[in-house]
């Protein structure tokens, strides 16, 4: 049997890292097992769904390399199909019309609450042999309710939570079509999972409560439900107006960013995949791994049972590791994109610049900021100028400028020129290197001076040193 998994986001609000982890795992499971990964957009909440949110989902998944094999299927485009299945269920006596009004439902709920019972529909309109149903009220469009099995229980082996058993007595007869005939959420999910022959449903554990209802609908339709894996929530820390810290579910309100913002902030898709993979799954102690490695290792047996907490500092660290390990040419392409966004055009020196600076950067944005110093006028930090470009070093700086004007423009010759100045002036390397770095790069905190200078344009260097 081919594995078939799906990601079924609702495009209400933009997708954040906590949500997209529910795409990463089914994607990885499909890839790990040679199966198919399906994208389904659950857009039936018309008021809250938006095209912008769909765009962020599709863009975010493409950026992270979570390619889908089928879809995107939009639930709003499948209405005819849901209605067809509803009609079949009606014909088979699996559903029944219920005319209970909102006011009656409210009154029922109040009676149940007063009696300390769990509020639930009481089956007034459920047809049973020998039962007389109330008189159908005039001019009222009924909802359709699903005949939930009576007695017994629904049991499933959840790949994360273990065995779950829910008594059918706890489940009332679910409304599966509204008075206007539109199908409701749990019903659409089941029809889709059946039609798309989904074998493994991997999703957030906010859907655990829906699962027994969905399983009953599966069985009523003569199908066996898929394997379920309900992932614990992703938590995040927020700080309130009083400066107090709270840990809660990651959400837009808790300050979660859209997935695509991580791209804009200079994170690498490989690193985000790596970080998210670890946020709810593990492979021994492995912290840093490639996408390929993740796919090879991934299975549903090592999913974490407790909620993981998002930690941006850790994500930055993971990003820095991937950045360091990345080859200079492709890295330079990403850095060039970030530079272009800032209006700076790079050239063929960029891969070497990336090689020299990538160890000290945790994002491509940070790397682009360094690289920009090679292509744009530099304004030296005044504090550093005051500290390092002191009166006594000026003759040495001018001498270096003269030597650099004439030497071959490559690292070895530049090293020699610097040494020559040190010999002639009796200065120590830092006494000369610090002011030169400040003048050329704007700051004294750079990699080795000869390597930096060799990547600069000679005329610019000489000009900046002479101007001191």
Minimum CB separation from ligand GLU for residue 208, in Å?
11
Instruction: Identify which range of 44-52, 158-166, 200-208, 382-390 contacts ligand GLU by CB under 6 A.
Output: 200-208
Q: Whole-number minimum distance, CB 77 to ligand GLU, in Å?
A: 16
Residues 170-199 that bind ligand GLU (CB under 6 A): 189
Which position among 4, 5, 9, 28 is part of the footprint of ligand GLU (CB under 6 A)?
Answer: 9
Minimum CB–partner distance for residue 82 and ligand GLU (Å):
15
Give the range of 6-14, 52-60, 281-289, 301-309 binding ligand GLU by CB under 6 A: 6-14
Q: Which is nearer to ligand GLU, 26 or 435 (CB)?
A: 26
Least distance from ligand GLU to the Cβ atom of residue 185, Å: 8
For ligand GLU, which is the closer residue by CB, 215 or 371?
215
Q: Which stretch binds ligand GLU (CB under 6 A): 5-13, 386-394, 449-457, 459-467?
A: 5-13
Nearer to ligand GLU, 123 or 204 (CB): 204
- Cα dihedral value 9, 14, 18, 22, nearest 10: 20
Which one, 8 or 462, has the nearer CB to ligand GLU? Answer: 8
Q: What are phi and psi of 337, to 5 degrees?
A: -60, -45
In contact, 221 and 117? CB cutoff 8 Å: no
Question: Binding ligand GLU by CB under 6 A: which of 8, 177, 198, 276?
Answer: 8
Q: Are 49 and 17 in contact (CB under 8 A)?
A: no
Tell me whether residue 42 or residue 172 sits nearer to ligand GLU (CB atom).
42
| Shortest Å distance, C-beta 201 to ligand GLU | 6
Residue 142 or 204: the one with the smaller Cβ distance to ligand GLU is 204
C-alpha separations of 47 from 50, 186, 435 in Å: 8, 18, 61
Position closest to ligand GLU via CB? 203
* Size of interface with ligand GLU, in residues (CB under 6 A): 8
Q: Is 42 in the site for ligand GLU (CB under 6 A)?
A: yes
The distance of closest approach from Cβ of residue 73 to ligand GLU in the complex, given in angstroms and rounded to an integer, is 12
Q: Is residue 217 close enough to count as binding ligand GLU by CB under 6 A?
A: no
Q: Which is nearer to ligand GLU, 9 or 35 (CB)?
A: 9
C-beta of 273: minimal distance to ligand GLU in Å? 20
Whether the Cβ atoms of residue 217 and residue 290 lie closer than 8 Å to each other: no
User: Over the chain, what HEC string results?
Assistant: CCCEEEECCCCCCCCEHHHHHHHHHHHHHHHHCCCEEEEEECCCCCCCCCHHHHHHHHHHHHHHCCCCCEEEEEHHHHHHHHHHHHHHHHHCCCEEEECCCHHHHHHHHHHHHHCCCCCCCCCCCCCCCCCCCCCCCCCCCCEEEECCCCCCEEEEEECCCEEEEEEHHHCCCCEEECCCCCECHHHHHHHHHHHCCCCEEEEEHHHHHHHHHHHHHHHHCCCCCCEEEEECCEEEEEECCCCCEEEEECCCCCCCCEHHHHHHCCCCHHHHHHHHHHCCECCCCCCCCCHHHHHHHCCHHHECCCCEECCHHHHHHHHHHHHHHCCHHHHHHHHHHHHHHCCCCCCCCHHHHHHHHHHHCCCHHHHHHHHHCCCCCCCCCHHHHHHHCCHHHHHHHHHHHHHHHHCCCCHHHHHHHHHHHHHHHCCCHHHHHHHHHHHHHCCCCCCCHHHHHHHCCHHHHHHHHHCC
316 and 362 Cβ atoms separated by less than 8 Å: yes
Query: CB 448 → ligand GLU: shortest distance, Å?
Result: 51
Kindly tell me which of 207 and 324 has the beta carbon lying closer to ligand GLU.
207
Binding of ligand GLU at residue 339 (CB under 6 A)?
Answer: no
Question: Which residue's structure tokens are 């007063």?
Answer: 114
Q: Which stretch binds ligand GLU (CB under 6 A): 82-90, 152-160, 201-209, 448-456?
A: 201-209
Q: How far is the CB of 203 from ligand GLU (least distance, A)?
A: 4
Instruction: Between 108 and 208, name the residue whose CB sits nearer to ligand GLU.
Output: 208
Tell whether residue 44 is a contact of ligand GLU (CB under 6 A). no
Residue 207 interacts with ligand GLU (CB under 6 A): yes or no = yes
* Binding status of residue 10 toward ligand GLU by CB under 6 A: yes
Q: Which of 203, 263, 278, 373 binds ligand GLU (CB under 6 A)?
A: 203
**With binding defined as CB under 6 A, does residue 145 bind ligand GLU?**
no
Residues 260-319 that bind ligand GLU (CB under 6 A): none
CB 274 within 8 A of CB 288: yes
Distance in Å, CB of 21 to ligand GLU, minimum: 12
Least distance between ligand GLU and beta carbon 172 (Å): 21
Residues 6 or more apart whose CB falls under 8 angstroms from that of 77 comprise none
- Residues forming contacts to ligand GLU in the complex (CB under 6 A) are 8-10, 42, 189, 203-204, 207
């Amino acid at each position: 049997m081919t594995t078939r998994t799906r990601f079924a986001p609702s495009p209400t609000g933009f997708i954040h890292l906590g949500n997209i982890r529910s795409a990463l795992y089914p994607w990885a499971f499909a890839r790990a097992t040679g199966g198919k990964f399906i994208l389904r957009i659950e857009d039936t909440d018309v008021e809250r769904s938006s095209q912008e949110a769909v765009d962020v989902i599709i863009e975010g998944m493409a950026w992270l390399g979570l390619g889908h094999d089928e879809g995107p299927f939009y639930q709003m485009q499948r209405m005819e199909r849901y209605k067809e299945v509803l009609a079949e269920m009606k014909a088979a006596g699996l559903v029944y019309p219920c005319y209970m009004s909102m006011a009656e439902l409210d009154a029922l709920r109040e009676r149940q609450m007063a009696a300390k019972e769990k509020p639930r529909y009481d089956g007034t309109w459920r047809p049973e042999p020998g039962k007389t149903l109330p008189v159908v009220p005039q001019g009222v469009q009924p909802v359709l309710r699903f005949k939930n099995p009576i007695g017994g229980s629904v049991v499933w082996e959840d790949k994360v939570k273990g065995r779950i058993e829910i008594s059918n007595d706890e489940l009332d007869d679910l409304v599966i079509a509204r008075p206007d005939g539109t199908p409701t959420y749990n019903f659409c999910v089941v029809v889709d999972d059946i039609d798309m022959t989904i074998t493994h449903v991997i999703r957030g554990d906010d859907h655990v409560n829906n699962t027994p209802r969905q399983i009953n609908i599966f069985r009523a339709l003569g199908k066996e439900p898929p394997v379920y894996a309900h992932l614990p929530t992703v938590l995040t820390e927020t700080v309130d107006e009083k400066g107090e810290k709270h840990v809660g579910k990651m959400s837009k309100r808790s300050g979660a960013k859209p997935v695509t913002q991580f791209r804009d902030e200079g994170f690498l898709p490989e690193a985000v995949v790596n970080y998210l993979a670890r946020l709810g799954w593990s492979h021994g102690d492995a912290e840093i791994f490639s996408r390929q490695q993740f796919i090879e290792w991934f299975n549903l047996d090592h999913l974490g049972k407790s909620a993981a907490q998002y930690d941006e500092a850790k994500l930055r660290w993971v990003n820095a590791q991937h950045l360091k390990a990345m080859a200079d040419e492709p890295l330079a392409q990403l850095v060039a994109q970030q530079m272009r966004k800032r209006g700076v055009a790079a050239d063929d020196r960029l891969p070497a610049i990336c090689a020299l600076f990538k160890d000290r950067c945790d994002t491509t944005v940070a790397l682009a900021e360094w690289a920009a110093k090679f292509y744009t006028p530099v304004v030296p930090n005044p504090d550093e100028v005051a500290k390092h470009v002191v009166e006594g070093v000026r003759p040495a700086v001018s001498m270096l400028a003269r030597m650099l004007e004439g030497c071959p423009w490559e690292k070895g010759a530049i090293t020699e020129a610097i040494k020559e100045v040190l010999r002639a002036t009796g200065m120590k390397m830092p006494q000369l290197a610090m002011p030169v770095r400040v003048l050329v790069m704007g700051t004294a905190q750079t990699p080795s001076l000869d390597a930096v200078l060799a990547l600069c344009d000679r005329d610019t260097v000489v000009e900046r040193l002479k101007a001191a």
